[in-house]
Chain A
Amino acid sequence: MGLRCGTFRENYAQDMAIFRTRLHWGVLFAFLIFLFTCPLFFSDRILTVMTMIGIAIISVHGLNILTGYCGQISIGHVGFMAVGAYTSAILTAKLGWSFWPALPCAGLVAGIAGLIFGLPSLKIKGFYLIMATIAAHFIIIWLILQLYNVTGGPDGLAVLKPKIGSFALNSKASYFYLVMAIACLATSLAINIVRTRAGRAFVAIRDNDLAAEVMGINLWSYKLQAFFIGCVYAGVAGALLVHYYGFASVDQFPFMDSVWYLGMLIVGGMGSTAGAIFGAVSLKLLDELVTIVGPVLSKIVAAQAAASLALITRGLVIILFLIFEPRGLGHRWGMIKAYFRLWPFSHEE
């Protein structure tokens, strides 16, 4: 946590500020202005990719709070996204709600589902919890298929695009604005959640649960809080996903995507909000690259090359990061910043 020379913290408010220097604020505003003028000079294809990245960022923030900060590993994250997605889909398509109250409801219901499946975390941890969350994913998807009167089962459910007044967010650009606004909000919330009392308790539980309990942290309550917060994020991301497609189907929530979200967390760096963003952006871009390269490769080499390329690159990226960069891109970014802070007079630590 280095700061530029000559930056002093003279009172509590300065110490707690996230953006401390004029440069920080400048970069922030420049980035936000760039982000929200993107639709002016990018094609629909790029906007689609960016929208998907935004949704992934929201989802990975949730997983980061649950796994990166609280240390409760979940490989059922996509299952909770599905809960949020179907809640919103049912509320808007079957009950005729507007999108705006349905979105928080989606988060809330997914959070409650997270509480239910988070209950085993009170008794077990590590691998056992992983198995419980894998089970959660398959049970949720099965339940969605069972309740086909409400959810449409394997046929899926058509949902409407969100509307502001009479203006429907039909175009790619308008949906891009919606997702990015929510992603920015989710990011600032995530940064602040981990700075609260609860956030510090999460980190204590992750680092040593016994010590945390001895210090008076209520493990049961805080673990369930972590599950709730993580799954609320997942639910909101899931709802945004189905409203983007205009269609809800269990095929949008495959089990392997949960693994991929954990991969994003590893590539970006666990337990860092910037890391979650780095991971989501870099792996989504990698996915995009694979979809571009795949068809070319299948023409040159063999038809099955395209199908296997995605799997192999995904696996290899995670393997290489685990071995060579276990703290992720977020950590590397911090080191680069620290290096240039004193540049050209930097010294090796």
Chain B
Amino acid sequence: MTFFLQLVVTGFALGMVYALVAIGLVIILKCSNVFNIAQGHFVLIGGYLGYTFLVLFGLPIWATLVMAVVVAIIMGLLIERLTLRPLVGQPELAVIMMTIALATVLEGLATLIWGGEYKTYHGVLPTVTLKLGEISVPPESLIGLIVSIAAVTILMLLFRYTKIGLAMRATAEDLQVVQSVGIRATTVYAASWVIACVVGVIGGILLGGVSGVMIPLAEIGLKAFAVVLLGGVNSIGGAIVAGIILGMLENVAAGYLDPLLPRGGLAQVFPFIVMIIVLFFKPYGLFGLVRIERI
């Protein structure tokens, strides 16, 4: 039983991390209907930025966060203006290929600037390890939980009560209508990319503080897609619930089934297996709007 509970708790931690990445995906999706494959790479860049400011420049944590957010805003604006803006109105494949190409370039830049090596700044961030009886709660879960809840609250308020938030939701719904009532769609797109970049970079700093940064960290972006699909592509709350479900399922399945399999490694593919199953039976996810085009 302890084994099972430990798996569940560790899975919960993993799930919060997935949720954090998935939120960035959902924001861009809600605003501009673009599936951003480079989201994992924003996390990667965030981790390396954290390393640069905290360790290389020796800044305190609050200054690091401010600096990283500034960099993220510039990055988001540049990415939207230079790569996504020229593709407005182009077919879906072009836009998705653009985000894939963007991911490749970001990975290349990370390799060029930071050498693609394993960097860690453990202990610089305040980490808490909780112990519940025999089960230890990993610090990722607490940090992930706090940041996710904060992000979700802010974003929900933003989408419900502010003008730009409403404009974002309207743009996702119908570009032509939005333009005819005088909302600048380009501003909305830029805002959505900036928010996604900021969320990704903050997530990266926190993750880097817990588990270190290296290039494979970006693969978390692909796994987060399974979370987004399970939760429903346009539901931020769904992303969190699905993140937790998937993280727990992955950990429990890997914990019990890996010894039975000759090579193990089930955790690596589990999100993808879930993805296929979700796509087969419930393509609009648990909390998504049922409006995916059925053919």
Chain A residues within 8 Å of B, Cβ to Cβ: 67, 73, 75, 117, 119-120, 122-128, 130-132, 134-136, 138-139, 142, 145-146, 148-149, 153, 209-210, 213, 219, 256, 259, 262-263, 266, 270, 302-305, 307-312, 314-316, 318-319, 322-323, 326
Q: Is the interface of A mostly helix, strand, loop or mixed?
A: helix
Assess the B273–A318 pair: CB atoms within 8 A. no
Knowing that A308-B116, A309-B108 are A-B contacts, what are 18 other residue pairs whose CB atoms are under 8 Å apart, sorted by A's residue number? Answer: A117-B276, A122-B295, A123-B283, A125-B293, A128-B229, A131-B226, A132-B279, A135-B226, A139-B269, A148-B262, A307-B111, A308-B109, A311-B105, A311-B108, A311-B111, A312-B109, A322-B98, A323-B83
Assess the A128–B292 pair: CB atoms within 8 A. yes
- Provide the residues of chain A in CB contact with B265, threshold 8 Å: 142, 145
List of 7 A-B pairs having minimum Cβ-Cβ separation, nearest first? A311-B108, A315-B104, A315-B105, A312-B108, A135-B272, A318-B101, A308-B112
A to B CB contacts below 8 Å, 29 in the list: A73-B96, A75-B100, A123-B294, A124-B292, A128-B279, A128-B283, A130-B35, A131-B275, A132-B279, A134-B225, A135-B226, A135-B276, A139-B273, A145-B265, A149-B262, A256-B104, A262-B97, A266-B94, A304-B112, A308-B116, A310-B108, A311-B104, A314-B101, A314-B104, A315-B101, A318-B97, A319-B105, A322-B86, A322-B87
Does B162 sit at the interface, judged by CB under 8 A?
A: no
Assess the B96–A127 pair: CB atoms within 8 A. yes
Assess the A312–B283 pair: CB atoms within 8 A. no
Does B261 sit at the interface, judged by CB under 8 A?
A: yes
- Provide the residues of chain B in CB contact with A124, threshold 8 Å: 279, 283, 292
- Provide the residues of chain B in CB contact with A326, threshold 8 Å: 90, 94
A153-B111 CB under 8 A given contacts A123-B283, A259-B100, A311-B105: no
Assess the A308–B108 pair: CB atoms within 8 A. yes
Give CA–CA (A312, B105) in the complex, Å: 5
Does B222 sit at the interface, judged by CB under 8 A?
A: yes
Q: Is the interface of B mostly helix, strand, loop or mixed?
A: helix
Assess the A315–B97 pair: CB atoms within 8 A. no
A257 CB to closest chain B CB (Å) equals: 12
- Provide the residues of chain B in CB contact with A309, threshold 8 Å: 108
Give CA–CA (A290, B187) in the complex, Å: 38
Assess the A146–B268 pair: CB atoms within 8 A. no
- Provide the residues of chain A in CB contact with B262, threshold 8 Å: 146, 148-149
Residue of A nearest to B101 (CB): A318
- Provide the residues of chain A in CB contact with B87, threshold 8 Å: 322-323
Assess the B273–A135 pair: CB atoms within 8 A. yes
Residue of B nearest to A153 (CB): B263
Does B107 sit at the interface, judged by CB under 8 A?
A: yes
Give CA–CA (A314, B86) in the complex, Å: 19
Give CA–CA (A308, B90) in the complex, Å: 29
Within residues 63 to 100 of chain B, which ones have a CB less than 8 A from any CB in chain A? 83, 86-87, 90, 92-94, 96-98, 100
A120-B100 CB under 8 A given contacts A148-B263, A315-B105: no
Give CA–CA (A136, B98) in the complex, Å: 21
Does B161 sit at the interface, judged by CB under 8 A?
A: no
Give CA–CA (A276, B105) in the complex, Å: 23
- Provide the residues of chain B in CB contact with A142, threshold 8 Å: 265, 268-269
B150 CB to closest chain A CB (Å) equals: 28
Does B280 sit at the interface, judged by CB under 8 A?
A: yes
- Provide the residues of chain A in CB contact with B276, threshold 8 Å: 117, 120, 132, 135-136, 139
